[in-house]
Every structure is written in structure tokens, then in C-alpha cells.
Structure 1
Amino acid sequence: MLLALAVITAGAALRQLDRAHFTRHRPRAADAAQLIALQRARANNWAPSLLLAGQWLQITGWWMLAAHGPLAAAAAALAVAVHFRHLQEISHFAVHGVLARTARVNLLLAEAFAHHPLALGPVRLRRQRHVRDHHPNAAQAGIDPNLDDLHQAGLHPGTSRATFALALVHPLTPRGIRSTALGIANGVQHGGTWHRAAAIGAVLATAYLAGGWVAVVAGVLVPRLLLYPQMAWLSLINEHTWFDPEHRTGTPAWVEAGRCLRLYPRNRVLAALAATTWLPYGDLHHYAHSAHPGLRWNYLSALERHLDRPHFTPDRLLFGPGSVALRHLNALHGLTSPKQEEKAAAT
């Protein structure tokens, strides 16, 4: 067990080198031009490589720990799911071309450390879907592929409360699990390249060598099929006011402020917890990212302090008045938000 904990600690330390390099002397608040200039001055290929290697080193440590009893296996399942979620978000910035210094290394790192081992499919297809289809058309019905995914899960106008509740945990339902499995199969088979299947085999073999069948089940299958997809799904739900955006014209920040939200703006504890688990690497600051997609995650908090707040800043995700889930449900039922009611009354 001590060896497993040492490996986890070593991986965590390795990850910090990227953070230390990019955030030193970072201003607390600044505009995008200043932050992009700082980002370009510090861009390199070695720091993100060590960051990704550290993620997998920690995953290996959790595989080793999984063999030490049921509680350790449960902890490993949750921790590995978090790391898979981190790998998804790190590769997201590679898709935007800002993880590493060159386009070729961005592609290579995303494929080798995230898309191949997690069976996410080719990076070039993700770039088409995310950068070209989603970003310019966020929350636009019939255009935004992310909104189509939400609709297919049952989040559409007039949906019942029961269907809505099931849609919030869609990846954990039989239909969602089947969709995840099909996505993995497509990711492995796409393009007919042998190395995609080999990458999955290498992950399973390494998990087995590190912690036996317990590590394979609790450290690969459960996180990849259930826990990580659910974390990613909640992140998607939390990105925009999907069903009642304010359609605006003007600067990118003004447009995005009308269709983005910012979770936990007044609760530092929940914000920190989200940022280290299911909303990592700048995903908590999705509004700032949407306003300036070419900015690395290290600088999004500084940009966010420079921008005006988006039109929805909830302190709750799933339950209670003012929560993200309740707003989505009301929007799907054609009910106006309090802010919209105030505007209607004023006019």
C-alpha cells in the first residue's frame, strides 16, 4: 500500500510542474490580449507532456491500491474516473491548439494520452464537432451537436419530471450505458487502425499487472463505463443555459454571457471541489473559455475576473430554487426565469 501511495504522490507532484510554469507571476485579473501574450511566451511541449504522464502515473498508483480491499477498490474507481475526466479536459485544450507549443504535438499528446487509451475517437473529428460546430453555435437547436445529445437523452420541450430526472443520470441508465459502450467500440474501430485497439489492450494489461482483476474492474471498467461518463455528462449540462439562452449580438464575451452560466460563484469550497473533480482544467470557467477559446486553462480565472458575469450564476447544481437543473426544467416547460420576468415587467 505504501508503494501505491508513493506512486500516486509522485504523479501528483509531476503534474504540478505544468501549473508552476504557466501560472508564475500570473496577474489576478487581465484582459485576453495580455493573457494570450503571456501564454505564448511560456508555451512549450515538455510541461504538458509531464502533466499527462503524471495523470497516468497517478492512475497506475490507484490501480495498485485497488487490490487492498473493498474500500480501496471503491476509492480507486472514483479516483480513476476523476483522472479520466481530467484527461478529457486536458485533451480538450489540445483540440483548441493551446495545450502544447505546436499543432503536431497537440495532436500527438491528445491521441497518445487521452483519445487512444480512453477510446474517444480521432482528435480531428472531435475538433470538427467541438471547435467548428459547437462553439460558434452553442445552444442553437438543430445546429449545436451538444444540444442534440441533450435532446436525445430526453431533455426536450415538455418533457415529464420523471424523464427529466432520468436524463440527468443518463450515462447510468441502460440506454446510456449502451451508448457509452457503442461509443467506445466506434472509438476503437474508427479508421481501422490497429494501434487504437492496442492502446485499450495496454491499459487493461497494465491495470491487471498493477492490481489484478480488481484493478481491471474497479480501475478501468467501472470508471470508463459508468463514473467518468456521468461526470462528463453533468459538465455538459452545466455549460450553458441550453434551453433559454439570451440571444445577443456584439462582442464574443457579450454573446457568451447570454448563453453561459457560472456555477458556485459565491461558494469557494464547492467551487474548489468541482474544479478538482468533475469540472477540472478550466471547465468551471466555461464562460471565460467560450468567450476566448484560444486561452489555456491556467489563465481563465484571471480573464473571468476581468469580464462581466454571465446571465446565470447559480449556487446549486441539481436541487433547490435557483439550481441549474430547475432552470433547465422550467425552460423546457416554457416557464420564464425570474430575470426574464423582471425584463418583461419593465417593458
Structure 2
Amino acid sequence: MPLSLFLIALGIALREADRIHFARGRPSSASAAALIALQRRRATTWTPTLLLTGQWVQIAGWWLLAGHGLLAAAAAAAGVAVQFRHLQEISHFAVHGVLARTRRANQLLAEVFVHHPLGLIPVGERRRLHVREHHPNVARPGVDPNLAELHQAGLRPGASRARFARALVYPLTWHGIRSTTTGIAARLRHSGSWHRTAAIGLVLGTAYLTGGWPALMCGVLVPRLLLYPQLAWLSLLVEHTWFAPEPRTGSPTWVESGRCLRLYPHNRLLARLAAATWLPYGDLHHYARSAHPAVRWNYLPPSRHLTQPHFTPDSLLIGPRSVIAHHRRALTVHTVTRSSTAAPTA
């Protein structure tokens, strides 16, 4: 167990190199243009490499821990799922071209450290879906691929309470698990994808050699197929007011404030917990990220002088002002509106 804790601590230390490098000389408040200029001057490849290496060193520590009893195995499953979420969000900035110094370095780091070992879609495809299709069309039915994903899971007007509840944990349902596994399998069957198969095989083999069957099951399979998809799904749910965006025209910040939300604006403890686990690397501040997609997460704090977005819920699940209650009301209103405008039958 001491070695596993050492590796987790070492991984955290390696990650700190990136934060320290980009924090030097950072202003307390600045315009997006000034922040982008500063991050371009600071852009490097070695700190993102250490950052991503640190994430995998932490994962290795959790693999070692998994074999020390049921409680340790459960902790390892949760810990690795959180690290997978962190890897996903780091690669998000690579997709936007602001993780490393060059576009080639961004793509290479994202593929080698995240998309290949986790069995995700190619970085180029993710860039097309996210940057070209999602960002300009947030919450637009028939155009936004993320909204289509929510609809496919059952979050659509007319959904019953039971179907709505199932959709909230879609990745943990049979249909969600099948979607996750078939998606990974499809990517591995694609012509010329032997290197993706090899990357996943390397992860599975390394986990087994590090911590045996507990590491393989609780350190790879359970996090990758169940827990990490659920964390990513929850993060998707709290990014936008998907079913009731406020239509606006004008500057990007004004438009985004009408379709974004900000979770836990008045609870620092929950905000810090979310930022450390399922909403890492600026994902908690999705409004700032959406308004300034070319700004690296290190420079989102100085841009938080932005006004609050359209919706600032205090909770995820509980209460009338929770995210889930808001989504449910929006879908119900759409259902009622659609029914009231339907032509009467003879």
C-alpha cells in the first residue's frame, strides 16, 4: 500500500508542473484577448506531457491499491474513473488546440494518452463533432450532436417520469452499457486501427501485471465501462440549459450566457469537490469555456468577471432549482406546448 500511495502522490506532483508553469505572471483579471496572448507566449509541450503522464502514474497507484481488499478495490474503481474524466477534459483542450504548443503536438498527446488507451473516437472526428458542429449550434434540435445524444437516451419531450429517471443514469443501463461497449468495439474493428487495439491491450496488460485481477476489473473495466461514462454523462447534463435555452443574438458571451448554466455558485465546498472529481479542468465553469473556447483552463479564473449565465442552480438533483428539476420542467413545457398547438381532430 505505501507504494500505491507514493505513486498517487507522485502523479499529483507531476501534474503540478503544468499549473506552476502557466500560473507565473497570470493577472487577476484580464480580457480574453490578453489571456490568449499570454498563453501563447507560455505555450509548451513538456508540461502537458508531464500532466498527462502524472494522470497515468496516479492510475497505476490506484491499480496497486485495488488488491488490498474490497474497500480498496471500490476506492480504486472510483479513483480511476475520476482520472479517466480528467484525461477526457485535458484532451478537450487539445481538441481546441490550446493544450500544447503546436496542432500536431495537441493531436499526438490526445491520441497517445487519452483517445487510444480509452478507446475513444479519433481526435479529428471529435474535433469535427465538438468544434464544428456542437459549438456553433448548442442546443439546436437536429443540428447539435450532443443534444441528439441526450434525445437518444430518452431526454425528450413526452418522456415519462420513469424514462426520464432512467435517462439520468443512461450509461449504467443495459442500453447504455451496450452503447459503450459496441462503440469501443466498432473503433477497434475499423480498418488500420491495430494501434488502437494495441493501446487498449497495453492498458489491460499493464493493469494486470501491476495489481492482478482486482486491478484489471476495478482499475480498468468497471471504471471504463460504467463509472467514467456516468461521470461524463453527468457533466454533459450540467453544461447547458439543453431543453430551454434563451434565444439571444449579439456577442458570444451574451449568446452563451443564455444557454449555459453554472452549478454550485454559492457552495464553495461542493464546487471544489466537483472541480476535483467529475467537473475538472474548468468544466465547472462551462460558461467561461463556451464564451472563450480558445482560453486554456489555467486562464479561466481571470475571465470569471463575466456575468452569471442564464441559470445558476444550487444543486444537481434535489430541490426545485436543481439542474434535473429544470430539465424536467423544460421537457414538460415542450410537451404541453406541442399538445396545445396540435390541430384538433374531427
Q: Distance in 1 between matches of 2:180 and 2:308?
A: 34
* 1:180-227 CA distance string (max 9 Å, x none): 111111232334321100000000000001100110000000000000
Q: Root-mean-square deviation (CA), in Å?
A: 1.1
Checking the alignment, whether the CA contact within 8 Å between 1:207 and 1:216 is kept in structure 2 is yes
Residue 170 (structure 1) aligns with: 170
Relative distance call for 1:24 and 1:150 in structure 2 (3 A) is same
Residue 341 (structure 1) aligns with: none
Q: Distance in 2 between matches of 1:149 and 1:193?
A: 25
Residue 339 (structure 1) aligns with: none
Residue 8 (structure 2) aligns with: 8
Checking the alignment, whether the CA contact within 8 Å between 1:122 and 1:190 is kept in structure 2 is no
The aligned amino acid for 1:13 is A
Residue 293 (structure 1) aligns with: 293
Residue 328 (structure 1) aligns with: 327
Q: Distance in 2 between matches of 1:115 and 1:132?
A: 19
* 1:245-279 CA distance string (max 9 Å, x none): 00100000000000000101111100000001000
> Structure 1 residue 315 and structure 2 residue 314: aligned?
yes
For residue 236 of structure 1, report the CA deviation from its aligned partner: 0.4
Q: Distance in 2 between matches of 1:64 and 1:117?
A: 19
Matches within 5 A, 1:205-284: 205-284=205-284
* 1:121-158 CA distance string (max 9 Å, x none): 21000000000000000000000000000000000012
For residue 82 of structure 1, report the CA deviation from its aligned partner: 0.2
Unaligned stretches of 5+ in structure 1? 337-347
Matches within 5 A, 1:1-347: 1-304=1-304, 306-334=305-333
Relative distance call for 1:302 and 1:191 in structure 2 (3 A) is farther
- State the SS of the aligned residue for 1:250: coil
Checking the alignment, whether the CA contact within 8 Å between 2:187 and 2:193 is kept in structure 1 is no
For residue 105 of structure 1, report the CA deviation from its aligned partner: 0.3
Q: Distance in 1 between matches of 2:284 and 2:170?
A: 21
* 1:61-116 CA distance string (max 9 Å, x none): 11011111111110000000000000000001000000000000000000000000
Residue 345 (structure 1) aligns with: none
The aligned amino acid for 1:281 is Y
TM-score, normalization by structure 1: 0.95
Q: Distance in 1 between matches of 2:323 and 2:24?
A: 34
- State the SS of the aligned residue for 1:76: helix
Q: Distance in 1 between matches of 2:210 and 2:15?
A: 21
- Structure 1 runs, 4 residues or longer, greater than 3 Å off: none
- State the SS of the aligned residue for 2:333: coil
Q: Distance in 1 between matches of 2:52 and 2:165?
A: 35
Q: Distance in 2 between matches of 1:280 and 1:190?
A: 31
For residue 301 of structure 1, report the CA deviation from its aligned partner: 2.2
Q: Distance in 1 between matches of 2:248 and 2:189?
A: 41
Checking the alignment, whether the CA contact within 8 Å between 1:121 and 1:186 is kept in structure 2 is no
